Structure 1
C-alpha cells in the first residue's frame, strides 16, 4: 500500500511539474488545502523568495488539493524523499512524535498570538528538532485558527450551558475526552456529515475555526457561536531530510530563511480570511459570544492533561508554554 502511494505521488509530480522548469531544481511540496488557501499561498511565496535567494538554483512547485495524497500519505512520501516538502497539521504526527501532542492539548494556548510566540521560541524549536529522528526537517509553523463551539440550540456562556449537549468532534481520543470533561457528549464523525447531522438533530453542534464554520455553511444550521478557543493547533511545514541533506550549506540556510519569512505571509492571509468569515456570519445574524470566562473550562481539563501529559519532558514543555508571556 505504501509503495502504491509513493508511486502515485511520483507519477503525479512528474506529470504536473512542467509549470516550474526555469529553476535548476524544483522542489515538490504537498498540501491538502485548495489553491488560494493561506498555507498554499505562503509556500508559493516561499518558493519565490527561495528562487531569488539561490539565484535560480531552487524553487518550489506546490501541489495543492491533496494531489499527492492526504496528510498521512504526504508524510510518508516526504520521509522517503519521493516528494520534498509537505504542509500538514500536527495531529497526524501525535502518535509518532510525542512532542507534537503538547500543542494539540485543549487550552494550552491563551490566544492565537500566544501560540505564535510559543512556536517561534524554544518550545517550537524543540518540536522542530524532534522531526529529525523521523527523516524530516521541521521548517516553520503555520496557523490553523482557533476552534470554538457552535450549535443550533442556544448561546453558550458557561460550562453549565454545555451540559448534556451533543457535539461532533474530530476522530481523536483527546478531543472526545476534552468534550466529556466539559460536561457535554462527544460524537466523532466525518466532517462531511456535520451539516446534515445538525440539521436533523442527530447532534446539537460542532467546533471549528471561523473560516471552516463559514465556508462549510454550518452557520446556516448552527446559529450560536461561542469563541472559547479551546483548540489552537498549529500546522507545520516539513522537508524531507534526504532532500535537505542533498543541498549545499548555503542552500540549506536559504531554505530555512525563506520558510521563516513565509510565516508572515501566511499570518497576514489568515488574519484577513478569518476577519472576512466573521463578518459574513455576523451579517447572517449569527449570535457570536465573546464575553466568556475561560477559567472554569481550563480547570476542567485537569484529567485530560493527567492522561496525556505523562513524561517529565512533556510536563516541562507544558510549563514552558504556560510561562511564555
Structure 2
C-alpha cells in the first residue's frame, strides 16, 4: 500500500514539474491541416496534441481538423489565423507566399545540402528572424511557431528520359505551381514551366500536357503518378519541403507563461516528428517505385554541381523581385554557413 502511495506521489510530482501549473481556466486550441491522416502534417499534429494536453495536465485541449473543414487554401486559412477563428495552421511556402512572399526563400534550390544541414538551420535563429518579419507584416496577428518538413526533398521527375543534368531537361514541360519562384527555377534549367493545379497533375502527365514535375517521392507514389507514365526520378534534392506552422499570436500571448512554455515545447516535439516521418515513409516509396520499373538516378557530385550552377540566376531573381528578399536571403545564407561549420566540426570529432 505504501509503495503504491509513493508511486502515486511520484507521478503527481512529475506531472506538476512538467506542466508547472494547471490553470483553473481551460484553453482550447483549434488546429487545422489541409491534408489527410497519411501525411507528415497529421503525424506532427498528433504528437503536438498528445504532448500539450499531457504536459498542461489537461489545461489545454487541442482539437484537430484535418482536411478543409475550417478553410480550404493558404490565404483563407491564414486569414482565419489572423482573425482568431483558427489557432494553428500549417502551410507550404507556396501556400503562404501571397501574404509573406519572402517565405519562398525555403524553395530556393540547392542552398541546403542534406537533412542534417536543413534541420540545423530550421531549429535556430533563422526561423526566429522569419517569425519577427511575419509578426511585423501581419500587425502582430500571425506568429510563425516552427518550420518542419512535409514530404522530404523535391526532386525532378519525368515521363521521358533519365535526367543527369540540366541539358537533359531542355524543352521539357515541367509542372509547377502558379508561384513565380518555381517557374524561374524550371526556366533556369532550360525547361518549360507549366502551371497545373495539383488535382489535375495525374491526367496532365497521362495526356502529355506536362512531361514532368518536381515532387517528393511520397507524393509521387501516393498519387500513383507512375501509372500516368512518370518513370524517371533524379535525386537532385533541389529543395527541402519546409512546412511552416503558424499560430494566432493573440491565442499564444493570451496564455500565461507556463502554458506558453508547454505550447513552445509541443511545437518542438511536432517539428522532430515531421523531420523523422518523411525519412521512414520514403524508404517504402522508393522501393515501390523501383520495383514497379521506375528509374531512380543519383547524380554524381559533379552533376549535382552542374544543377546548382544552372540554378544560380534564381537567387538574383529572388533578391530583386521578392519583397524583403535580400533580407531573408542573407539570413538564410548566414544560417547555412553556421550549420555547415557546426556539422562539419561535429563530423570531424566523430571520425577521430
TM-score calculated relative to the size of structure 1: 0.88
Cα distance in 1, alignment partners of residues 335 and 282 from structure 2: 25
Aligned equivalent of 2:8: none
Cα distance in 1, alignment partners of residues 272 and 28 from structure 2: 23
SS at match of 1:26: strand
Alignment of 1:11-160 (within 5 A): 24-70=26-72, 71-133=74-136, 134=138, 135-144=141-150, 145-160=152-167
Cα distance in 1, alignment partners of residues 38 and 205 from structure 2: 29
Alignment check: 8 A CA contact 2:121 2:336 kept? no
Alignment check: 8 A CA contact 2:82 2:142 kept? yes
Aligned equivalent of 1:16: none
Instruction: Using the TM superposition, name which of 266-275 and 276-285 deviates more.
Output: 266-275
How many angstroms does 1:122 deviate by? 1.8
How many angstroms does 1:29 deviate by? 0.3
How many angstroms does 1:35 deviate by? 1.9
- The equivalent position to 2:287 in structure 1, one of 276, 279, 283, is 279
Alignment check: 8 A CA contact 1:108 1:321 kept? no
Determine if the alignment matches structure 1 residue 316 to structure 2 residue 297.
no
Alignment check: 8 A CA contact 2:126 2:332 kept? no
| Number of residue-to-residue matches in the alignment | 303
TM-score calculated relative to the size of structure 2: 0.81
- The equivalent position to 2:204 in structure 1, one of 197, 200, 211, is 197
Cα distance in 2, alignment partners of residues 284 and 196 from structure 1: 20
Determine if the alignment matches structure 1 residue 256 to structure 2 residue 238.
no
Determine if the alignment matches structure 1 residue 270 to structure 2 residue 278.
yes
Alignment check: 8 A CA contact 2:148 2:272 kept? no
What is the alpha-carbon root mean square deviation over aligned residues?
A: 1.8
How many angstroms does 1:218 deviate by? 0.8
- 1:66-96 Cα shifts (integer Å, max 9, x gaps): 2111232111101111111111112233243
Cα distance in 2, alignment partners of residues 206 and 313 from structure 1: 30
Q: Which runs of 4+ in 1 moved over 6 A?
A: none
Cα distance in 2, alignment partners of residues 36 and 246 from structure 1: 33
Cα distance in 2, alignment partners of residues 232 and 315 from structure 1: 15
SS at match of 1:41: helix
Q: Which runs of 5+ in 2 are unaligned?
A: 1-24, 341-352
Cα distance in 1, alignment partners of residues 95 and 149 from structure 2: 16
- The equivalent position to 2:309 in structure 1, one of 287, 290, 299, is 299
Instruction: Using the TM superposition, name which of 37-46 and 314-323 deviates more.
Output: 314-323
How many angstroms does 1:312 deviate by? 4.5
Larger Rg computed on CA atoms: 2
Cα distance in 1, alignment partners of residues 28 and 198 from structure 2: 34
- The equivalent position to 2:221 in structure 1, one of 214, 220, 236, is 214
How many angstroms does 1:101 deviate by? 2.6
- 1:229-264 Cα shifts (integer Å, max 9, x gaps): 122231111110111121111111110011112222
